[in-house]
Homo-oligomer: A and B are copies of this chain.
């Protein structure tokens, strides 16, 4: 089979998700965690092939990003104290809205409920108008991810303006506050879809798992919802490690946790998941990237903000170079990472034709973000957000710095000194001790850490009242200081060092979601044997690389089987032996389900001349050669990116008897 023929064969049989899931569970790629105890929704275990696949994806990620770009990898704790996540905004804002049915005890996620009920009504309306509603493929990702709560569509025609209203609401569904969702539920009479009974108004449910650290129970903590905070908190140490040079990036691979309200859809919405995150720290005045040249020719599918606002899902295809040049993508560094994300995803088996980069709408994006693009992968659940790539500006470092009063900045020696005019504060320190005693350092630190805006205000206050009045956490009542204690002036000075808070470009990968997308993109059925599935993983990430099959379990074949095993083990090529009695064909098709790219067949000829047969999974092509040559071909194709044709060009074609 040629590459074209394989391509054709792969799309001949329609994709069947149930069959894929039955393969994935049957071959223990993954399984519901605590199955024996009835399972816990949103928690999954990876079995041997899933675990090996995941480890390989992580390994490729590490080489593609960390090694290639000299990133600084860190491994930070998952347990995180309250204070940190309060400062980052997660305690206040990392929540979904939930509604409880007081009668049944059921809990619904408010935005999903409103979305689903209105969509069901629109569908009923379409049917009533005699229009086709067979547009499942176009449904939004989130909607298809859930088990439907609305079990039956009622065929009821709606007023034309109600249809318009519903459509407007649905277009903005990700941006509503809890109160607004509550109002929508009242206005459109949305209750429990099964019973019609009203629900409690939406309450914020924080998605972080809470726990207590230490024996006193008084130090409240959470399981981290992302790996990013650990990287921000270590910024000063990382900068020092990097000899104070910017730009540089840190990276982290580890588990994060989200207490989803009602997780469904298998590996796509889970409560514990592997993330890989990069924080690239860059000068806000210079977001160019030295290696942008290398990627700017890469063509991608973009779904920018304005296209979405015009109600279209038709992507714009252009090079990342053009996208940055036209300012559609904010800057080179962001563009560079978008292209590198694309390269990574293709390398591990994502179908490039099922990938798009969607820009966040203004109401989705945090106020501080300069730009944000999601790599979305198309699956049978719709388009799924798998990688986020955001320019988070200086937000994270600034909030932690403000909270802890520690500077998180880069100092850059200036080639030509510059004149800077700014407010400065002088303290008459000898007066602070007698007045504030042990609190004196706190008062001084408060004053020395005032921002330029605050200093300006205080300087005006001081001029007007000959004193300033303020409050400090640690001290009861007002603190009052007259102009004997403090002097605030605007001064112009020549500076030799520029100090700045770097901006952060953050590519953030949900490894589990990516893996699931690769499963779907890799799965197909041979037209001649539709009952069996094939997982066409790239050899680089396949859980096992080789299936070693002695033709029969005749004792004469055992020594050479052992010998080949030894050579493969020494070459550190993961392999399995299948010396069960069943037919070669059956053994191979069992392994197609595991995505093993190569098969080595040992026959009686092998005993005589040390030659073996190599089979390729997708084409089922076979070649013959010495054990050494065959293993060498496997190594080249698997780890060095050599094609099958190139890697086997010196081996004999082989036609099985």
Contacts and interface: CB of A to CB of B under 8 A. Distances in A.
> Which residue of A68, A78, A254, A569 has the most chain B CB atoms within 10 A of its CB atom?
A78
A213 interface: yes
Contact of A230 (B45, B63, B210): B45
Given A213-B259, A240-B28, A234 B67 contact: no
Q: Which of A33, A75, A221, A240 has the most CB of B within 10 A?
A: A75
Given A51-B74, A213-B259, A36 B240 contact: no
B37 A84 contact: yes
A107 interface: yes
A40 B213 contact: yes
A215 B45 contact: no
A65 interface: no
A198 interface: no
Contacts of A221: 40
B73 A51 contact: yes
Interface in A235-272: 236-238, 240-241, 243, 254-255, 257, 259, 261-262, 271-272
Given A74-B46, A74-B51, A230-B45, A40 B219 contact: yes
B40 A52 contact: no
A97 B591 CA distance: 52
A79 B36 contact: no
Contacts of A84: 34, 37
Nearest to A400: B36
A47 B33 contact: no
A255 B255 CA distance: 9
A372 interface: no
Interface string A53-84: 01100000011000110101111111111011
A594 to B, nearest CB: 10
A423 interface: no
A382 interface: no
Interface in A2-43: 27-28, 31, 33-37, 40-41, 43
A135 interface: no
A54 B252 CA distance: 13
A51 to B, nearest CB: 5
A571 to B, nearest CB: 11
A340 to B, nearest CB: 15
Interface of A is mostly: mixed
Contacts of A214: 41, 259, 261
A48 interface: yes
A72 B400 CA distance: 43
A73 B44 contact: no
Contact of A31 (B237, B243, B255): B237
B77 A48 contact: no
Interface residues of A, number: 78
Interface string A588-602: 000000000000000
Nearest to A213: B40
A153 B218 CA distance: 33
Interface in A202-248: 205, 209-216, 219, 221, 223, 230, 233-234, 236-238, 240-241, 243
A404 interface: yes
A572 interface: yes
A129 to B, nearest CB: 38
A221 B28 CA distance: 25
B74 A241 contact: no
A105 interface: yes
A47 B254 CA distance: 14
Nearest to A261: B215
23 contacts: A28-B241, A31-B234, A34-B81, A35-B233, A35-B237, A36-B406, A37-B404, A40-B79, A40-B213, A41-B214, A45-B75, A46-B74, A46-B75, A47-B238, A51-B73, A67-B569, A77-B272, A78-B78, A79-B257, A107-B216, A211-B223, A213-B259, A255-B255
Interface of A: 27-28, 31, 33-37, 40-41, 43-48, 50-52, 54-55, 62-63, 67-68, 70, 72-81, 83-84, 98, 105, 107, 205, 209-216, 219, 221, 223, 230, 233-234, 236-238, 240-241, 243, 254-255, 257, 259, 261-262, 271-272, 400, 404, 406, 569, 572, 574, 576, 580
**Which 9 A/B pairs are nearest by Cβ-Cβ distance?**
A46-B75, A48-B72, A45-B76, A43-B77, A209-B211, A51-B75, A33-B77, A51-B73, A211-B211
